[in-house]
């Protein structure tokens, strides 16, 4: 059974687009662009010059900061300019543990500051102070001059940089205002303030509608069940997580969500959101005439790379975002881009891509800073990885934790009954394993997945199909390595 390609998840394009931005020769073996620097006055930053400036305060910024510290290049040299009110944190928590009901041990800061998600220190504001890193909170960059090597923040602060790392991430796609996309009670989740606003609504909500059947939709719906709310997911596709899940995988999860009281409305298009007499959202009108009552609406219909005001460094029109090479260098010397905003060459599949995922945010940040500070010239070799963990609130009778590695192209072989395990293998026409999905695996089983996806071994499809258990199927795949 063929599935929708993961290329749709990562908005990929043909690899030739890499050459269109003058980056064809920026590969292993080419001398590194010398780092531009300024003399700065210790960690008190008495002048406007900074040797290194990171624009953006999300996941990637936190992991970049850690890498600067590891190389002894942070104290008095590094400045992070952020629109956030908080030090960088592990953003996935916002649609998972952060939304747990207040009596079921929800996640809260400072518990999930970077880099706890990868086993590192909890980098709270004191950590940045301790390491001599200046962080400008709630003061986003509004203009940029590459010739003068300066950025200007919303407060008017002018900062001159030696090397600039753009880590601005992505912004939520929104419903148009004219169809009710900005009504009170309509929520989008991208930062702590968004999540706090949603929690305030959930505390008084009776009926919740979630628009979008992807990551946000699945994770917020799972959290809403913990609040015992009447919850409906509305999306235009034939099944949930259509960019990754096969119809069979999706069916299993849809049944689980329905067993927990979630209403699922597939193939449904939004006409508009309507307000009640108090001006707050009260109902969702679908194009087929159906009306869904809802006093709280969460919109999860994707995101767009936050490229402003850095368009001049070079954009990728096919996948979106700022074009970089395999070392995260843009077309302008001394300027880099990482995380969600970076359009980079996906070496393993020989194509350009942009990945909105915490794993890439972490790894791209580390790779970029290592390149900037050392003679490191190994190209970034990312393996696509996606996961979700839901229904993990206290008292939940069934927890969900799945992982996927690789590319979802080719024929699929599905093993298991979702009790709780299920595994799916994507195999191309040459019998090479291209991607693998596993629900409720052990730590050892999950650790096998990236080995399989990166090695792309030739597997015996007939033998794999005959496996009676997920464990047997994984062992058959392992034996192909």
Model confidence pLDDT, tens digit, residues 30-64: 344 445 544 343 344 445 789 999 999 999 999 99
pLDDT of residue 18 exceeding 70, the answer is no
Confidence of residue 21 (pLDDT cuts 50, 70, 90): very low
Beta strands in 351-442 (DSSP E): 351-353, 385-390, 400-406, 411-415, 422-427, 433-439
Beta-carbon count within 10 A of 462 CB: 8
Position 35 scores a pLDDT of 54
**Tell me, what's the pLDDT at 259?**
96
What local confidence, expressed as pLDDT, does residue 325 receive? 98
pLDDT value for 388: 96
**Element at 144 (helix H, strand E):** strand 141-145
Structure-token pair, residue 368? 């970029």
Q: Quick check: 2 pLDDT over 80?
A: no
pLDDT in tens, 319-373: 999 999 999 999 999 999 999 999 999 999 999 999 999 999 999 999 999 999 9
pLDDT of res. 47: 58
Task: Give the largest CA-CA distance in the chain.
Answer: 69
Please identify which residue in the block is written with the tokens 């069916």: 251
**What CA–CA distance (Å, rounded) separates 184 from 295?**
9
Q: In whole angstroms, give the CA distance from residue 353 to residue 8.
A: 10
Report H helices in 321-428.
358-373
255 has pLDDT over 50:
yes
- Using a cut of 0.75, tell me whether the model's pTM lies above it: yes
């Amino acid at each position: 059974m063929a599935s929708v390609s993961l290329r749709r998840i990562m908005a990929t394009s043909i690899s030739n687009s890499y050459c269109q931005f003058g980056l064809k020769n920026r590969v292993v073996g080419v001398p590194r662009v010398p780092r531009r620097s300024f003399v700065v006055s210790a960690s008190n930053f008495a002048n406007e010059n900074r040797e290194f400036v990171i624009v953006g305060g999300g996941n990637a910024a936190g992991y970049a900061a850690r890498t600067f510290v590891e190389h002894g290049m942070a104290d008095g040299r590094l400045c992070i300019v952020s629109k956030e009110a908080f030090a960088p944190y592990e953003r996935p928590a916002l649609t998972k543990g952060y939304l747990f009901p207040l009596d079921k041990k929800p996640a809260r800061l400072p518990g999930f500051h970077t880099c706890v998600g990868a086993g590192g220190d909890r980098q709270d504001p004191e950590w940045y102070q301790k390491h001599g890193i200046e962080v400008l909170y709630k003061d986003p960059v509004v203009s940029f001059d590459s010739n003068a090597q300066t950025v200007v923040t919303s407060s008017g602060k002018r900062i001159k940089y030696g090397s600039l790392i753009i880590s601005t991430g992505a912004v939520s796609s929104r419903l148009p205002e004219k169809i009710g996309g900005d009504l009170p009670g309509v929520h989008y989740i991208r930062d702590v303030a968004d999540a706090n606003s949603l929690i305030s609504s959930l505390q008084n909500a009776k009926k919740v509608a979630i628009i979008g059947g992807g990551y946000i939709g699945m994770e917020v719906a799972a959290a809403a069940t913990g609040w015992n709310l009447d919850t409906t997911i509305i999306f235009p596709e034939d099944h949930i997580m259509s960019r990754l899940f096969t119809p069979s995988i999706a069916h299993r999860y849809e049944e689980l969500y329905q067993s927990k009281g979630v209403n699922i409305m597939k193939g449904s298009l939004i006409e508009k959101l309507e307000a009640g007499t108090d001006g707050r959202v009260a109902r969702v009108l679908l194009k087929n005439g159906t009306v869904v009552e809802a006093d709280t609406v969460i919109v999860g219909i994707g995101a767009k790379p936050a490229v402003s005001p850095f368009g001049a460094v070079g954009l990728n029109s096919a996948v979106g975002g700022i074009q970089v090479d395999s070392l995260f260098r843009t077309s302008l010397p001394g300027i880099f881009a990482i995380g969600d905003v970076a359009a980079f060459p996906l070496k393993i599949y020989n194509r350009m891509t942009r990945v909105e995922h915490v794993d890439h945010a972490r790894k791209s940040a580390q790779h970029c800073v290592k390149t900037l500070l050392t003679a490191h010239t190994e190209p970034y070799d990312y393996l696509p990885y996606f996961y979700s963990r839901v229904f993990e609130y206290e008292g939940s009778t069934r927890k969900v934790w799945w992982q996927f590695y690789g590319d979802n192209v080719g024929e699929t072989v599905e093993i298991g009954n979702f009790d709780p395990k299920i595994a799916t293998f994507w195999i191309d026409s040459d019998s090479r394993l291209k991607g693998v999905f596993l629900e409720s695996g052990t730590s050892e089983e999950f650790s096998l997945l990236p080995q399989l996806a990166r090695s792309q071994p030739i597997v015996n499809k007939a033998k794999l199909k005959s496996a009676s258990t997920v464990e047997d199927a994984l062992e058959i795949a392992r034996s192909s390595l």
